[in-house]
Structure 1
Amino acid sequence: MIELDGSLTVADVRAVACDDESVTLGASARERMASSRAVVDSLAASDEESVYGVNTGFGNLKDIPIERENLSRLQHNLLRSHHAATGPPMDRELTRAALLVRANALAVGVSGVGPELVDRLCTLLEEDVLPVVPAQGSADNACELANVGLVLAGEGDALVDGERRSGDAALDAAGLDRYEFEAKEALALVSGTSVVTAQTALAIADLRRLATA
Structure 2
Amino acid sequence: MIELTGDTLTIGELKEVLYGDRKIHIAKNSLTRVEASRAAVDKIALGDESVYGINTGFGKFSNVKIAEENVETLQLNLIRSHACGVGDPFPRIVAKAMMMLRLNALVKGYSGVRVKVVEMLTKLINRNIIPVVPQQGSLGASGDLAPLAHLALVLIGEGRVFNESGDIVPALGVLEKNGIKPITLQAKEGLALINGTQTMTAMAVVNYIEAEQLALDSEWISGMTFESLEGVIDAFLPETHEVRGYPQQTAVAKRMLDWLQGSELTTRQNEKRVQDAYSLRCIPQVHGASWQVLDYVKEKLEIEMNAATDNPLIFDNGKTVISGGNFHGQPIAFAMDFLKIAVAELANISERRVERLVNTQLNEDLPAFLSPEPGLQSGAMIMQYVAASLVSENKTLAHPASVDSIPSSANQEDHVSMGTIGSRHAADIIQNSRRVLTIEAICAMQALEYKGVEKASKKIRQKWNAVNSIVPSLKEDRIFHQDIDNLHDYLKEIKIDFHIQGGNEDAERIIY
| TM class by smaller structure | over 0.9
Code of the residue aligned with 1:168 in structure 2: it is L
Code of the residue aligned with 2:102 in structure 1: it is R
Match of 1:145 in 2: 148
Q: Deviations over 1:41-83 (max 9, x none)?
A: 001112x211111111112211211111110110011001111
Q: Secondary structure in 2 aligned to 1:66? A: coil
Conserved in 1, the CA contact under 8 Å of 2:75 and 2:185? yes
Match of 1:97 in 2: 97
Code of the residue aligned with 1:151 in structure 2: it is V
Taking the TM superposition and a 5 Å limit, the aligned residue runs for 1:118-137 are 118-137=118-137
Q: Deviations over 1:140-163 (max 9, x none)?
A: 311001011111101111112123
Which moved further from structure 2: 100-109 or 164-173?
A: 164-173
Q: Distance in 1 between matches of 2:129 and 2:88?
A: 18
Code of the residue aligned with 1:60 in structure 2: it is K
Q: Which of 189, 195, 199 is the equivalent residue of 1:191?
A: 195
Match of 1:205 in 2: 209
Superposed displacement of residue 98, structure 1: 0.9
Between structure 1 and structure 2, the one with the greater Rg is 2
Match of 1:172 in 2: 176
Q: Distance in 2 between matches of 1:143 and 1:57?
A: 17
Q: Distance in 2 between matches of 1:84 and 1:73?
A: 18
Q: Distance in 2 between matches of 1:150 and 1:109?
A: 22
Q: Distance in 1 between matches of 2:4 and 2:36?
A: 17
Conserved in 2, the CA contact under 8 Å of 1:141 and 1:192? yes
What percent of counterpart residues are identical? 38
Match of 1:16 in 2: 17
Q: Distance in 1 between matches of 2:117 and 2:18?
A: 20
**Structure with the higher fraction of residues in strand conformation:** 1
1:69 has 2:69 as partner: yes
Q: Secondary structure in 2 aligned to 1:62? A: helix
Q: Distance in 1 between matches of 2:60 and 2:203?
A: 31
Superposed displacement of residue 137, structure 1: 2.4
Q: Distance in 2 between matches of 1:156 and 1:163?
A: 14
TM-score (norm: length of structure 2): 0.40
Conserved in 1, the CA contact under 8 Å of 2:92 and 2:162? no
Conserved in 2, the CA contact under 8 Å of 1:57 and 1:64? yes
Which moved further from structure 2: 196-205 or 23-32?
A: 196-205
Conserved in 2, the CA contact under 8 Å of 1:159 and 1:170? no
Point out where structure 2 has 5 or more consecutive residues left out of the alignment: 217-508
Q: Distance in 2 between matches of 1:183 and 1:107?
A: 17
Calculate the aligned-residue CA RMSD, in Å: 1.3
Superposed displacement of residue 205, structure 1: 2.3
Point out where structure 1 has 5 or more consecutive residues left out of the alignment: none
Superposed displacement of residue 21, structure 1: 1.0
Q: Distance in 2 between matches of 1:189 and 1:57?
A: 16
Return the structure number with greater relative CO, CA threshold 8 A, min gap 6.
1
Code of the residue aligned with 1:165 in structure 2: it is V
